[in-house]
Structure 1
């Protein structure tokens, strides 16, 4: 099978142009690709021979069914490459390889995501994350290698409002949530019937998934979790990706069960 279009910018430009325009003349393709007809014509003939482009009456062109599938995949790949290049500093400075292989290989679901970052004023990032969890949602699924007071308040508030909340943290976080500044939120969370907490000592990534968005964070190269930079997306596929990631990690986690004597009475 011929795959030469993968090595030809002109072929890729033509396929992408025809993907977004069902029926196009040579002049249309010239305008869409910013290429001259004398350069386009031989390539169009080759694509026709390969069965990805069909020439119909009056010198117009359209993609075949196979051509549409190929053009869609090329377009997705180019978008992903652009996304990775645009955010190269983020990916180069974080340990993204900590993701399970199947999830690392499907990071293209974050192509339309944005980076939430503000190292000049870190509180802005923390406030953004808290606001995300304070919205009306059906569920919150989260995994976090650390805990902040704002985060604790946000997830506890959601749990007490009836939102299904499931969290995964390393075991050392449990000592943190029983400290004075967290204890009241901890009580409320564990008394909420729709809230569950799991422990996983091998947690190497942080993320939060709701019914409307996902955030994804990583450890930096110094092996410190970076709470100040996150990928944020409202893409449905990214949210589904996050749900699958949560379920995968939960399988390897242990549900935390606390005795009532540890909680005393709810606040």
Structure 2
């Protein structure tokens, strides 16, 4: 996999950027760092694993050591430093993210991610195992219908909502009522106002009063319509900064990925409410 500098757009700390760039600019340094990320090793062990001469290995070790990414132990083993561990972890996340983008390349190519901060883009690896659900000529509403089917079975729902849709809102409210569920919702004042105005049956007001819905109102949101529940997680994006696309959806359904999706929601909420 080729990692280009474009992946680091949005990283504000110049020192962090330079360290990452320093490592990925050399295949040898990258291999040594990831090898020591797994466990401490001697030069001979690295030579055998990476299949390079000891002189090359020594040069790579010295280069990493000069940046304090690794350290030499008294027993002649080399180990990753705390700084090196963080750099390797970030690179590992970037590679996972690239895997996510490559596995659903059409979805990412078709949508704008300009409004999504880098710190959230780094979490894209939760969609590595997602399914791309698309509208078809014979079933234009396929993504919407599948979303609504999953919502109807959901109990504990968390949502990032940058767009108003009465269909989605009504389905969520009905699910909460039917299953005695709960909705944790991050949205904007504009979307909140539209939701309240459309609440002709006073379902939302009743659910808020009964502490079944918790609104977190923010001034602005990235263009991510993200939902996670005990049944599924989904992601819709926008064609551009204005036009929402309901014709394509990334879908997650297994329990392990749902746990990661809940973690992403908590991370997003904590960051956006700072």
User: Shorter-chain TM-score: which interval?
Assistant: 0.5 to 0.7
Find out whether 1:219 has 2:235 as its counterpart: no
Find out whether 1:75 has 2:92 as its counterpart: yes
TM-score, normalising length from structure 1?
0.65
Find out whether 1:116 has 2:135 as its counterpart: no
Larger Rg: 1
- Number of aligned residue pairs: give it: 236
SS at match of 1:24: coil
SS at match of 1:106: helix
Deviation, 1:108, is 0.7
Find out whether 1:14 has 2:28 as its counterpart: no
CA gap 1:9/1:159 in 2 versus in 1, 3 angstroms: farther
CA distance in 2, matches of 1:87, 1:51: 37
TM-score, normalising length from structure 2?
0.64
RMSD over equivalenced CA pairs, Å: 4.1
CA distance in 1, matches of 2:219, 2:176: 25
Deviations along 1:101-131, one digit per CA (max 9) or x if unpaired, are xx45432112231353222345543344235
Contact 2:152 2:174 in 1 (8 A): no
Find out whether 1:238 has 2:256 as its counterpart: no
1:32-111 to structure 2, matched below 5 A, reads 32-33=49-50, 35-38=51-54, 39-56=56-73, 59-99=76-116, 103-111=117-125
Deviation, 1:188, is 4.6
CA gap 1:197/1:170 in 2 versus in 1, 3 angstroms: same
CA gap 1:135/1:14 in 2 versus in 1, 3 angstroms: farther
Gaps spanning 5+ residues in structure 1: where?
179-185, 249-267
Deviations along 1:168-214, one digit per CA (max 9) or x if unpaired, are 53766778776xxxxxxx55554433247899998754232447865
Gaps spanning 5+ residues in structure 2: where?
1-14, 252-256
CA distance in 1, matches of 2:203, 2:96: 44
